[in-house]
Amino acid sequence: MAATAPIFCTNHPQRETLLRCNRCDQPYCINCLVRTPVGYTCRACLNLQQVGFYNATATDYLFTLTVGGITSAVAGGIAAAVGGLWLIQIFYAPFAGGIIAGIIQRAIQKRRGQYLGLIAALAVFLGSVIGAGIFPLFAILFGGRGAGVPLFFAAPLFALSSFFNLGFLIYLVLAIGTVYARLKN
C-alpha cells in the first residue's frame, strides 16, 4: 500500500487536512471552509459567487437616493404632522417604510446592490428631516404666518423641533429599519 504525502491547509500550513474547496479544489481545514448545500466552499470562492448576485448600477444608487428622498419627504411630512401621537407612529412607520421600499424597488427595476439598503436608509433619513421642515412651511405660507418667524428660518426650525418629538423619532427608527431590511440584499 502506497503512503500518500500529507496535505496541509492553504491558509494554515501547520494544519493537516483532507478537505478541499468544491470550486477551486484547494486544500483547506474545516475552519476555512463554509458549508453550502452542495459541499464545502472556501470564503474566496463564496465571495466571488455572492458578488455575482449584485446587479445594480451606479445610476440605481442615484435613483435610490433621489426616489427614496422624495417619497420619504412626503412620508416624513405626514409623520411630523401626526407629531406626538406615538402610538399611531408605531403602525404608520413600518407601513410607510414598506411603501417607500416598494417604490424604490420599482424605480430600480428590482435590481440588487451591496450597499442599496444603506443608501435607501440615508435617503429616508434625509428626506424625512427635509419633509418635517417643508410641509409645516407650506402650512405657514398658505395658512398664515405664525409667531412672526421669518420664512427663511421656519423650515429649519420645524425640522429641528421634530427631533425633540418622540413620535417623529419613533417614525424615523421604524421607517429606516423597514427600508433597510427590505433592500439590504
DSSP 30-88: TTTEEEETTEEEEHHHHHHHHHTT----HHHHHHHHHHHHHHHHHHHHHHHHHTT-HHH
Q: Phi-psi category of 11—alpha, beta or left, where left has phi over 0 and alpha has psi -120 to 50?
A: alpha
pLDDT attached to residue 37 = 86
pTM for this structure? 0.66
Cα–Cα distance list, 19 to 48, 50, 180 (Å) = 20, 22, 37
Cα–Cα distance list, 29 to 7, 15, 107 (Å) = 10, 7, 44
pLDDT attached to residue 147 = 53
Per residue in 41-55, pLDDT tens?
988 888 766 655 777
pLDDT attached to residue 51 = 57
Residue whose grid cell is 417607500: 100
Whether 156 has a pLDDT exceeding 80, the answer reads no
Residue whose grid cell is 451606479: 58
Whether 136 has a pLDDT exceeding 80, the answer reads no
Contact in structure between 179 and 117 (CB atoms under 8 Å)? yes
Strand partners, 41: 34
Three-state SS at 20: strand
CA count, 13 A, side-chain hemisphere, 91? 4
99 band by pLDDT with thresholds 50, 70 and 90: very high
User: Which residues are CB-neighbours of 163 under 8 A, at least 6 positions away?
Assistant: 169
149 band by pLDDT with thresholds 50, 70 and 90: low
Contact in structure between 107 and 59 (CB atoms under 8 Å)? no
Whether 120 has a pLDDT exceeding 60, the answer reads yes
